[in-house]
Structures are given as structure tokens and as C-alpha cells.
Structure 1
């Protein structure tokens, strides 16, 4: 059921995902074509904010901070999985894998490569602080519009 807390959480995490995507771009390999990368990250943040943070709002301020950081981690994991699957499909169409199981295992290899590029202090700081602030915003909306 739609609530104000879910709406505020979805919008807050969509904005957080956009900012993280923009901060992440300099950390990626030289010559990477991003296309709609930030927009897709916003969609992931919107969905994860609605489904994970929205129901967790309304349980207290500290729980909101914890749920916000947890939602940011879930958002990162979902984005890594989606972009790793996309990269694996690109490599599979170029015949870089010997078989289907090699391609499935390749998802995790690509995901680990992306994770190593993401592990920078500025990206992690924006994720943690932004997740906490988005959680507080969702908690405020849950208390304001009960």
C-alpha cells in the first residue's frame, strides 16, 4: 500500500543513487561509455527505496538510520548484480565464455571487478551518509503523515 514514507524513501534513494553514479564515474576505467548509467541507477534506487526502506520507516530515528544504511547497501548490491549481468551478456555475445556455467560464474567475476572500482572513500562516504539521511527523511515522513 502506498504511503508517504515509501514515496519519500523512493525519491531520496533515487537521488542518492544518481549522486553515487556521478561520483563513481571518475573511478571507472578510462574510455567507459556511460550512456544512461545514472538514469538506470536512479531507477534501482527508486525501487529499492520503495521496497526496502519504505516499510522500515516509522520504527524510530536510530532504526531509520540503520535501515537507511542497510537500504544503501542493498541498492549497491542490486546495482552490482544488474550491471554485472548486463556486462556478462555483452561478453557472452562476443563468445568470451566456453559455456553457460562459465557465463554464470563470469557474472561474479565481473561483479568483483566492479566492486573493486567502487571501493573508494568518497563513494562509500556518500553511500553511508546519504543512506542515513534518506532513512531520516523517510522516518520524518512516516511520523508526519501517519
Structure 2
């Protein structure tokens, strides 16, 4: 059921994850991120804002802190997973794996490598603090317009 909290969550998190995708740009070689990073970030923001954060709006600002941190961690996981899956797919077409299980297992090692590349205090702090602030804004609209 559409609510103001869900709509606000979808919009604010889409804009916020677009901003985070821009912050991630300097961490890529030659500052050229994958072409699907921004659209995937916005789509993930809409989905997480609508389902995860907006669906739980109206339970108080303390609960919004946990929900916002969960949304930020979910964003980080799915973006790292998507980039690792894309790299695994490219490696698989180059026949760098002996079998499908090796390819699937490599996704998680690639996720760890990408996570180490993005391990910046500025990026992580922006992601976590911004996600909490966005969850508070969503909570405000969820309480004001139930």
C-alpha cells in the first residue's frame, strides 16, 4: 500500500545513493566507474527506500536509526555484489575458471577486494550518517502523513 513514508523513502534514498555513487568515482581506475553504477544505485535506493525504510516508517526515530544503518549496509552489500558478479561474468567468458563453483566462490573474494578498495573513512561515514539522516526524514513523513 503506498504511503507518504514509502514515497519519501524512495525519493530520498534514490537521491542519497546517487550522491554516494558520485563519491565512489575517485576509487575507480582513471576515475571511470562502471556505466551501470549510477542507475543501479538509484534503482537500489528506490527499492530500499520504498520496501525497507518506508515500509517501517512510523515506529519512532530510534527505530529509524537501525533501519537507516541496515539500508546503508544493504546498499554496500548489493553494490559490491553487483560489481563482483559483473567481474566474475567477464572472467568466466575469458575462461579463467575451471568450473562453475570456482566462479561462484570468486564472487565473494572479489567482493572483499572491492570492499578493501572502497575502505575510506569519508565514504563509509557519509554512507552511514547519511542513511540515518535519510531514515529520519522518511520517519518524519511517515509520522506526519500516515
> After TM superposition, is the score higher than 0.5?
yes
C-alpha separation between the residues in 1 aligned to 2:41 and 2:97? Answer: 27
Counterpart check, 1:26 vs 2:29: no
C-alpha separation between the residues in 2 aligned to 1:27 and 1:96? Answer: 25
Structure 1: which 5+ residue stretches go unaligned? none
* 1:131 match: 131
C-alpha separation between the residues in 2 aligned to 1:120 and 1:67? Answer: 23
Rate the CA distance shift 1:44–1:27 in 2: closer, same or farther, 3 A: same
TM-score (norm 1): 0.93
* 1:90 match: 90
Deviation at residue 46 of structure 1 after TM alignment: 1.2
Deviation at residue 17 of structure 1 after TM alignment: 1.1
Counterpart check, 1:61 vs 2:57: no
Q: What secondary structure, in the 3-state scheme, does the structure 2 residue paired with 1:30 have?
A: helix
Q: What secondary structure, in the 3-state scheme, does the structure 2 residue paired with 1:67 have?
A: helix
Counterpart check, 1:2 vs 2:2: yes
Deviation at residue 79 of structure 1 after TM alignment: 1.5
TM-score (norm 2): 0.93
Structure 2: which 5+ residue stretches go unaligned? none
Q: Deviations over 1:33-90 (max 9, x none)?
A: 5323212211112111212111221111111122111111111112212221121111
* 1:43 match: 43
